[in-house]
Structure 1
């Protein structure tokens, strides 16, 4: 049996994305990963119910779709457009994007969810988004640096 780990690593290192591929690819990958995390959380017992005064609000797949795609589309598009003039903005975005994704875990941590399981899986979505943003922006940067 041959080891394909070096092949996978070298293909990741060779990742080059156009601006359109970077934006669309990052949004789609983030969406799929976050929906998979949501489903795994559901299977693990997360109900995603949060208390809001007298009301119970549920984080449904529609919310995951909206909150995974909209900020990612806005941020990645802004970085792609600004990189037309300043390529270095992609390096800045590689810091700012993931930091914002991680920082917004605070909103999950301060929300009164019915279980810790819900908070953990929602927080994992933020961490996954941070990683996907970094890789997508790196792919765009490498394509422009060639």
Structure 2
């Protein structure tokens, strides 16, 4: 008689921690980008211009700014956190706190800029999306060994 043992690991993610980390980072960044572009679209439909005045010039914050400010900080932050998590799994909790607080703290810059109301609301929600994605992505990176 034989006993069959099943693994508690997800079959959707690779078994290697490095490969899992790479997949989690890429999928999380893509999900955040899609969500933020949807919010941008909703903001446009609601009448937002996503323009503000900077040093006397009118500057547009979207869509290029939305893409750049979603992809670059999130990719760098999650990649660094993923690497440090491979070294010390306890780093996940620290990274979750920092990764949630930073985008939420930067909402003040959006609010203080002279965006119209639909743009301000959409951009603020984009910061919340980033915070939520960071926490969720890092939770997926926790070792389940």
TM band (smaller chain) = 0.7 to 0.9
Tell me the TM-score normalized by structure 1.
0.83
Q: Provide the residue aligned with 1:128 in structure 2.
A: 129
What SS does structure 2 have at the residue aligned with 1:135?
helix
Number of residues of Structure 1 aligned to a counterpart in Structure 2:
130
* Residues 1-146 of structure 1 aligned to structure 2 (within 5 Å): 18-113=20-115, 115-141=116-142, 144-146=143-145
Runs (4 or more) in structure 1 with deviation over 2 Å come to 14-17
Per-residue deviation, 1:47: 0.7
Structure 2, gaps ≥5 residues long: 1-9, 14-19
**Structure 2 CA distance for aligned equivalents of residues 85 and 53 of structure 1:** 44
User: Which protein shows a greater Rg?
Assistant: 2
| C-alpha RMSD of matched pairs (Å) | 1.6
Q: Which structure's residues are more often helix, by fraction?
A: 1
Q: CA deviation at 1:22?
A: 1.4
Larger relative contact order (CA 8 Å, sep ≥ 6): 1
The equivalent of 1:3 in structure 2 is none
TM-score normalised according to structure 2 size: 0.84
